[in-house]
Amino acid sequence: MVLIRAATQDDAGSISRVHIESWRTTYRGIVPDQFLADLNAEERTVRWREVIDSDPYVLIAERDGQIVGFISGGAIREPLEKYDAELFAIYLLAEVQGNGIGTSLLMELAKRLDEGGFQSMAVWVLEANESRGFYEKSGAVRVTAKEIEIGGVLLPVVAYAWPSLKTVVALEHFQ
């Protein structure tokens, strides 16, 4: 069974581990190898402690006492059409992907954002990321694209969005 709950300071190290492992498996061949090799757990842990302190929307997925995934979101950082919230990050360990955990995290984030007064949500995704289908299956629509720099390389990213958080909260689990 998987428990979805708000992250605490004690979770920062585990979130950092999931974040780094997920980047290394998901973005291999997309992001420069050296960038992935240089990801530092201590630096990420410090950063996640700061995020947890400042952002009420950091949730973790815990299975058998171990954190296997997380999601974070909040007010949109860069204005995008009519969307007021943003999914900043969602990462799962490779071995638990495709089991509905990501959907549970997405639904819970949408519920909490809705309760916080937000109406809609967007997410930026590397275009070469095969996990883009997750957003499409959850009802998000592609709204725009741009390029971002990672590890000294410009990479295309696409924005997906959900016009209504209520439709995300009501999702059925999908594969």
What is the dihedral sign for C-alpha 65, 112, 41, 28? positive
pLDDT digits (tens, 9 = 90+) for 83-94: 999 999 999 999
Global pTM reads: 0.94
Q: Could you give all domains of the chain from N- to C-terminal order, each with its CATH number? A: 2-169 (3.40.630.30)
pLDDT digits (tens, 9 = 90+) for 110-148: 999 999 999 999 999 999 998 899 999 999 999 999 999
Q: What is the mean pLDDT of the chain?
A: 94
Calculate mean pLDDT across residues 1-8. 94
Residues 6 or more apart whose CB falls under 8 angstroms from that of 60 comprise 4, 5, 6, 7, 11, 14, 15, 67, 69, 70
Three-state SS for 26-81 is HCECCECHHHHHCCCHHHHHHHHHHHHHHCCCEEEEEECCEEEEEEEEEEEEEEEC
pLDDT at residue 175 above 60? no
Q: Which residue type occupies 86?
A: E
